[in-house]
Amino acid sequence: MKRVSRIALLAAVGATAAAGVAAAALAQAGGGNAQPTPKNWNYVIKDGKRVPKGDRTMNADGSWREEIRQGSCVTVKEKTAAGEYKESRRCD
């Protein structure tokens, strides 16, 4: 009888440890209670790397325009109210 209870105890401890490791991996991967990047920063963190945020202007009709500056280059992304998407890049 003692042998069965030891095996059950070890199985319970193993299951608890596995659940803890899974929760830690989820928290590290950005799930769970990950805090968002503050709004006044000019980048967001994705996959542990800095990705620049763009200056997006939204219009009342649903269209928008976003400019992202990376060094001397500017990427402009535009979407019309009809759903047409255009992306252009220029380097000065």
42 and 87 inside one domain: yes
55 and 78 inside one domain: yes
The partner residues of 87 in beta bridges, in order of sequence, read 77
| pLDDT at 32 (0 to 100) | 52
84 and 62 inside one domain: yes
Burial classification of residue 73, based on how many CB atoms lie within 10 Å of its CB (0-12 exposed, 13-18 middle, 19 or more buried): exposed
Query: What pLDDT, in 10s, does the model give residues 36-84?
Result: 767 777 788 888 888 888 888 999 999 999 998 888 999 999 999 999 9
CA distance 74 to 91: 6
Total number of domains in the chain: 2
66 and 43 inside one domain: yes
pTM of this structure: 0.50
| pLDDT at 84 (0 to 100) | 96
Residue 75: give the domain boundaries: 38-92
Query: Considering only CA atoms, which of 56, 86, 92 is closest in space to residue 74?
Result: 92
47 and 75 inside one domain: yes
44 and 28 inside one domain: no
